[in-house]
Amino acid sequence: MKIGIDKIGFYTPHLYVDMNELAVARDIDPGKFTVGIGQEKMAIAPITQDSVTLAANAALEILDEEDKDKIDFVIFGTETGVDSSKSAGVYVHELLGLNPQARTIEVKQACYGATAGIQMAKGHIALNPESKVLVLGSDIARYGLNTSGEATQGAGAVALLMSADPTIMALEDKSAYFTSDIMDFWRPVYSDKAFVDGKLSNEQYIAFFSKVWGQFKEKSGLGLKDFDAICYHLPYTKMGLKALRTIWDEGSDNDKERLEENYTFSAKYNRIVGNIYTGSLYLSVLSLLENKEDLKAGSRIGLFSYGSGAVGEFFTGILQPNYRDHLYVDNHTELFQSRTAVSVSEYEETYEDTLPMDGSTMELDIDNDPATICLAGITADQRQYVNKRNK
Ligand code: COA
């Protein structure tokens, strides 16, 4: 039985800052951000969006009534959840009106969470072929103003509907994974900003890629020539390219040309969104499928997932016949075109805009946020979510 990705939804907030402007404000040569790191725009989440609303908005565009009825497992991958106890998925389950006969959990391992969700979903569907699983990867990447990580922030969510006989991508069986305790990136429970050893995280990303790629080749007998594209977790778009270039010499000139060209397509969306942590790899897959119009059914795509701390995994999927008919390209074109650029000082204000932590009530103005699902405020330490379609 084939199991894999049946639909892919995406959402990013309506605000962004231009990386050239951020560089100028920080007295840095813009080339460092646009070429050295490879980022053009960075999505900014207003206070009315959090990891719950981003995920719910991403899922909203893809689910029909039959999906809502058949989803019996919601797996929410995030490292910027809103509660240390209650799963962010339970809020999304309610906001989307899913069938109550479902399991719902939150999964955490830095940017690896959504991949863990996908692998769990695969096992669940193998045992329950009629079921559909909603896997969400949603985060707001925050490193702090004026830090070296600042240029690698972003915000957004990817929603993946997993099923048997998927319309977009069937996952293959072989997968290689690796865990090692490394302090390259972490966020203690008392901090709303990540702590990072940037150089170490770059090194470990490459080291983990090398380990799982080597293991994967041994397990599968496949090599570079068997891949039409490899998609990477993209904290910034230069990172995946650096990893790809470490295995360059294993391929022919044709392989290099094909993989480099497809890499460019797979990084297009990430370049104008920024790091969305656990959804980042799947935003890259979406970017490839929606922007590279002549990628044929039957193409094999490699996926490298890396979650600092650290866990890495390499696995593969095969594109299904007529997969392009099941993408939401127009929605995403419209989403990007309708965004508003903010100045660096507006971005800084938005960054500092946070909810009270003393139990007091705050009502938020959701009329300025074009998203269908918004955070409308907080009262008695409980976040108040609104689906404008139900108002
Ligand atoms: N024009 C073009 N390129 C330039 C440049 C310019 N004017 N100035 C610098 N660069 C290049 C550098 O040569 C470097 O390229 P290289 O990595 O290929 O050598 C790149 O821009 C980044 O410069 P660097 O000095 O390393 O940046 P930094 O010390 O500010 O750190 C990160 C960059 C990514 C480590 C930092 O943003 C960070 O910690 N991010 C969060 C963690 C992260 O994303 N980790 C990734 C793995 S999960």
- Banded pLDDT at 55 (limits 50, 70, 90): very high
pLDDT above 90: residue 390: no
For ligand 1, mutation pick of 35, 37, 185 (most atoms within 8 Å of CB): 37
Residue whose Cα lies nearest atom 38 of ligand 1: it is 149
Average pLDDT over residues 34-48: 98
CA of 199 to the centre of ligand 1 (A): 9
Asked if domains 3-168+327-390 and 170-323 share a fold, the reply is: yes
Helices 329-337, 280-291: crossing angle, 10 deg rounding: 110
Distances (CA, A) of 280 to 65, 225, 269, 375: 28, 25, 10, 23
CA of 336 to the centre of ligand 1 (A): 26
Residues 202 and 210: their CA atoms lie apart, in Å, by 13
Residue 336 CB burial class (10 angstroms; 0-12, 13-18, ≥19): middle
Residues 237 and 259: their CA atoms lie apart, in Å, by 15
For ligand 1, mutation pick of 109, 145, 202 (most atoms within 8 Å of CB): 202
Average pLDDT over residues 234-261: 97
Residue whose Cα lies nearest atom 39 of ligand 1: it is 198
The residues assigned a catalytic role are: 79, 111, 233
Q: What is the pLDDT of residue 189?
A: 93
In degrees, rounded to 5, the angle at the alpha carbon of residue 23 between the alpha carbons of residues 18 and 24 is 100
Residues 26 and 134: their CA atoms lie apart, in Å, by 40
- Per-residue pLDDT tens digits for 98-140: 999 999 999 999 999 999 999 999 999 999 999 999 999 999 9
Q: Where are the beta strands (DSSP E) in the chain?
A: 3-11, 15-18, 41-44, 71-77, 103-107, 132-141, 154-164, 169-179, 185-186, 195-196, 229-232, 300-307, 311-319, 340-341, 362-363, 373-379, 382-387
Average pLDDT over residues 88-102: 98
- Per-residue pLDDT tens digits for 213-244: 999 999 999 999 999 999 999 999 999 999 99
Across the strands, what pairs with 56?
none
Mean residue pLDDT of the chain comes to: 97
Residue whose Cα lies nearest atom 17 of ligand 1: it is 36
Average pLDDT over residues 166-189: 97
Residues 323 and 7: their CA atoms lie apart, in Å, by 9
* Cα distance from N-terminal residue to C-terminal residue, the chain: 42
pLDDT above 90: residue 341: yes
Residue whose Cα lies nearest atom 28 of ligand 1: it is 148
**Domains in the chain: boundaries:** 3-168+327-390, 170-323
Query: Which residues have C-beta atoms less than 6 Å from ligand 1?
Result: 29, 31-32, 35-37, 148-149, 151-152, 196, 198, 201-202, 205, 235-236, 239, 308
Across the strands, what pairs with 363?
377
Q: What is the pLDDT of residue 391?
A: 76
- Banded pLDDT at 286 (limits 50, 70, 90): very high
- Per-residue pLDDT tens digits for 357-389: 999 999 999 999 999 999 999 999 999 999 999
Q: What is the pLDDT of residue 208?
A: 98
Is residue 244 within 8 Å of residue 230, measured between CB atoms? yes
pLDDT above 80: residue 37: yes
Domain 170-323 homologous superfamily, CATH:
Thiolase/Chalcone synthase (3.40.47.10)
Architecture field, domain 3-168+327-390? 3-Layer(aba) Sandwich (3.40)
Residues shown for the chain: 391
C-alpha 370, offset from chain centre: 21
